Amino acid sequence: MSTNFQVKSDPELWEKLGMDVARFSGMPAMLTQAYTNIFLSQKNRPAGMAYFDGMVENIHTGRIHEILAVKESGKPVIGTFCVYVPEELIVAAGGVCVGLCGGAQGSIADAEKILPRNICPMVKSAFGFKIGKICPYFQTVDLVYGETTCDAKKKTWELLDRYIPTHVMEIPQMKRERDKKLWLDEVKDFKVAVDKIAGIETSFEAIAGAIKTINGKRAALQRLNTLRHHNPSPISGKDMLLIEQIAFYDEPVRFSQHVNELCDELETRIADGIGVAPASTPRIMVSGTPMALPNWKLHNIIETSGAVVVNEESCIGTRYYKDLIYDGSTTVEEQLERLTERYMKIDCSCFTPNDDRIVQVVKEYEESGAQGIIDYCLQFCHTYNIEAVKLREACQQRGIPFMAIESDYSPDDVGQLQTRVEAFIEQIKG
């Protein structure tokens, strides 16, 4: 275990960003303790995880300085809440795409002063971060780009727009040809909005370069996910989840380089038969709603209960990186069409019908060598909760051990979840 890890503080920077410094000042110590207990206590971690530990150390300081440097050069900094917002167009304009989904309990009380209590905790957490002025990333963005994947989000955008300019992208709820046309028009509007902030019109060459950059990031994550499927797994599910979360705020070229360097190390570990747990360890796949940083609750419960997580079918996981964009387009129009086609392959539960997601879950289960599926749903996320019915049926037909859980960010249900997860693992062991 590292004894030198410490999440860094920079009150002067936070003051410059207009944050509630007095309230936020305790966050680094809290995050240091949580990270140390959950991540640094693991045995036999790959050496390549040191880079990602460093990203967490600098999460509220060094990375913020980098983003501000981009902003001060006149390039756009765009905050997003969904994997449907095409980050390639932000990168093409020389800007920074920052994921703003909230994964912490601490900001929810702020949100509940305005929002209803019985809506998604991720929406409340994110909204609370902004109105409480306790997220440096929220304080750096020029524009928030929301979407219409759930009712709580699309109505919250109307209120969020009072605090930060918020542009809403209409995501069709079906995937027909007429829906593709609507979606393509929304992507074109998104390009106009980004270009306006950047003060340029992004060129074919710039978009081509950005597609190559983001394809590279996704390909690196694909490679990493394939390597973790080996038995014994060369990396823990917690570390993989952390890397997937960091993908949403790190600089993409640098991130890809370090993911590939980690993959090189994992290939050596696989060749040497080195794993983070014995080959006999039960292997769990997690599906369902995304787990925004620092939501590590379920993975921590699973991996301290004697199992290892080997796949995430979620927006923080494979839905984000399983598909690349065709890079042989010859016009900007074609680039935007191919980009739209790639994003339409993401199987969010907002779509109807959504049988492709059920097929994809089973496919990933088989490819990962998992021995059971835990479907994770945030409270009040009705689309994923209902879709779990069809997922359970598909698993029952195939004899796949399946458990659905519903939770929020509070630690109150950890004991109950631990009991259920431990029983599920015993079921898998037979």
In a domain, 419, yes or no: yes
Q: What pLDDT score does 254 carry?
A: 98
In a domain, 114, yes or no: yes
Q: Write the CATH number for 377.
A: 3.40.50.11900
Domain boundary (199, 234, 265) is at 199
Q: What pLDDT score does 3 carry?
A: 65
Domain boundary (199, 227, 244) is at 199
d(CA 306, CA 320): 28
In a domain, 342, yes or no: no
Same domain, 188 and 226: no
Q: What is the mean pLDDT of residues 334-358?
A: 97
What pTM was computed for the model? 0.98
| Residue 227 CB-density burial (10 A; 0-12 exposed, 13-18 middle, 19+ buried) | buried
Q: What pLDDT score does 430 carry?
A: 84
In a domain, 337, yes or no: no
Helices 177-198 and 332-343, axial angle in degrees (round to 10): 120
Residue type, 17: L
User: Which residues in 4-93 belong to E strands, given as ranges?
Assistant: 77-80
Same domain, 29 and 118: yes
Q: Write the CATH number for 77.
A: 3.40.50.11890
Same domain, 164 and 226: no
**pLDDT tops 70 at residue 306:** yes
Higher pLDDT, 300 or 1: 300
- State the residue range of the domain holding 33: 11-199
d(CA 285, CA 365): 7
d(CA 279, CA 257): 29
In a domain, 117, yes or no: yes
Same domain, 23 and 118: yes
Same domain, 190 and 277: no
Same domain, 278 and 395: yes
Number of folded domains that form the chain: 2
Residues 238-248: pLDDT tens digits? Answer: 999 999 999 99
Answer yes or no: are the C-beta atoms of 98 and 140 closer than 8 Å: yes
Q: What is the mean pLDDT of the chain?
A: 97
